[in-house]
Amino acid sequence: MPTPRHLFKPERHRALELLAPCGHGCTETTMLAHGFSIDMMVELIDLGLATVQTEWFVAGGYQGERARVRITEAGRRALSDQFAARSSVNGVQAPKRRIASAIPSKAVRPFL
């Protein structure tokens, strides 16, 4: 089955690669620091490849709100399918690789 080309713009691919190993996702600030625009993050969310959730935090007596972006299963599948398509040689499909982290998502992991 051919993969839609619009899902695999290099910037989207790079964003999904950043989000894939992060069980808790990445904050909007982290995504911006890696060079991703708000518009690109909105595209990922609109395509169903990522979700966003706001959360409250307290740091140094300051209370604020931040957005956290997480990859969805559809995003993992799209990333996995792209790797499989790249691995295909002479029309022979390579086995699909799982992108998910080897660490269970419920494990305590540091935030980025």
Q: Write down the pTM of the prediction.
A: 0.65
Note the pLDDT tens digit of each residue in 15-67.
999 999 998 999 999 999 999 999 999 999 999 999 999 999 999 999 999 99
Report whether pLDDT(69) > 80: yes
- Cα 100 vs. chain centroid, distance in angstroms? 10
Q: How far apart are CA 65 and CA 54, in angstroms?
A: 7
pLDDT band, very low/low/confident/very high, at 92 (cuts 50, 70, 90): low
pLDDT on residue 109 = 46
CATH number of 9-87: 1.10.10.10
Report whether pLDDT(104) > 80: no
* Sequence letter at residue 8: F
pLDDT on residue 10 = 86
Contact 31, 15 (CB under 8 A): yes
